[in-house]
Structure 1
Amino acid sequence: MSQDQLDTVFQQWQDNEARAEEMIPLLGKLYRQYNVIPSLFGRSLINRSVTRILKNHRYVRKVEGTELSVADTLPMVRAMTELELGPAHIDIGRLGVAFKHAGESDVVAFLKRELADIVGCHDSSGMGGEPQDVVLYGFGRIGRILARIMIEKAGGGNLLRLRAIVVRGSGDDLEKRASLLRRDSVHGPFSGSIDVDYDNHALIANGHYIRIIYADSPAEIDYTAYGIDNAIVVDNTGKWRDREGLAQHLESRGVSKVLLTAPGKGDLKNIVHGINHQTIGDDDRIVSAASCTTNAIVPVLKAIDDEYGIVHGHVET
């Protein structure tokens, strides 16, 4: 390779670095001002370094067999910040690949067509609705990973908002709780900062003030005393899996609905989003998110059944 070619390769890298640097504040604006959560083929683009953004673009070639660079996505991100988008999850990578395949030149027209449902839907006063309080009842492995996801995807903070975590104990284990949230052997370190407010029994994670409530049963808790109202309680303890047991949460002041992170028993609806979430009615105050195995296999089975049909199968976990 000649010196001119080497210089060209290096210059391309520097140009892409500059584009990624320009993209970072635009992604932040989408996230914090519009509650738009941008990703690239499932890989988050929020709070990512220049190098990570460039690596995520290289990943597209593995999954699509198509080159996608920041030169392709930066104009799309610029345009999105001007479209007054409503809250959404947007895969910029998939949009970028679709735009290239379409052979179009007007990126704004393309985005207005592809994102028609949310273009112009930004509401500066409500950001997509009133904030929804969420309480995690239990803080084991599922509870901690769910807390990470909620904090990471909080956007402007006006949609789902983690307000409290209920655990058993005496109140002298806050540092241990914080440590378990900071580190995970599979998912790695927590992305951000976690402080402990010992006086008020709370964790402050990336600006989220999360009260730690100590209780042995739902009957002991008045959530309104903590400024929490109309909350969704996510029970991840597995202690109760039927309607009678989970209905105890509804007796606590400040609770409106209950979500179980395990397969429900009896007449509880087991919901897999994207499969049967449309069956949830306004009167359903207790639902199950089904089992981990169900969530893993059902989307695949549905795609196969819709396309080819399934006569018989065997699944092991």
Structure 2
Amino acid sequence: MTYRLTQFAHGGGCACKIPPGELEDVVRGLTGTAPAGTAHELLVGLDDGDDAAVVRLDGDRALIATTDFFTPVVDDAYDWGRIAAANALSDVYAMGGRPVVALNLLAWPRETLPFELAAETLRGGLEVCAKAGCHLAGGHSVDDPEPKYGLAVTGLAHPGRLLRNDSGRAGMPLSLTKPLGLGVLNARHKATGERFEQAVEVMTTLNEAAAEAALAAGITCATDVTGFGLLGHLHKLARASGVTAVLDSDAVPFVDGAREAFRDGFVPGGSRRNLDWVRPHADLSAVGEETALLLADAQTSGGLLLAGEIPGAPVIGELVPRRDDRTIVVR
């Protein structure tokens, strides 16, 4: 029997995230103060919604902790495992670190899906972790009506060489290391069963090389582009850095077939929610609704958004002195 994993979930991949505005309401006020007796300094916490938590261990080492998991974004269990693992590891790369050890997070509807598919999902995750040089050791599983998979990842970085979303400065160019459009292609895949190898290739590509290139170039400001879309993550970066972002929509790359999928009506609900959230914080007067939605498209295992330039990554805009709380989209 053939199982289409995407049919067992209400949403797919990072498009099933809680909308950014609602999430910010939930965590607002939870930063608090350091616990009594804390031996190590928290360098990155909840304040700016960065990609992972970072704690200084000593002068040369900082520990990075993150977790990410989601419902199936593709029907193939092995590919889903690879995509989910690459996506979880990305949060470590987005902070300028290297992943050291990860734990599986698996939710499985044991009465409706065979465990052979769960094993294939875990095999995909193991393969990607091995490629990243990251140990994958154990984890946790629960019986759940919807399948979900991801990783809890611990990494290391130098505390003085972190990539953060609050260190952007006016005059810095903006670069993007992967094309957009994964959300609309995944929505088409879920609806029709069509397989898009180009999307799978993008989602399973590690952000390791991009992070290494960013550090080598002296870049200090970055985030990865996932469930909140390019516009959402760019807004958070500019807000945290106290600057305004100017985005050149014509310079943004898209995966082959993404615009066609959009025009055929395959738009994830998460992408529409992203645009609803970011619209009050963006000047979109220069572009139409199609472009605006694609710029807000919910990505799964997307690329790094860098305040700086690296080889092979197109420059898609710049940071300028703060004007107001709006990202300016031009073309």
TM-score (ref. length: structure 2): 0.28
Structure whose residues are more often strand by fraction? 2
Structure whose residues are more often helix by fraction? 1
TM-score (ref. length: structure 1): 0.29
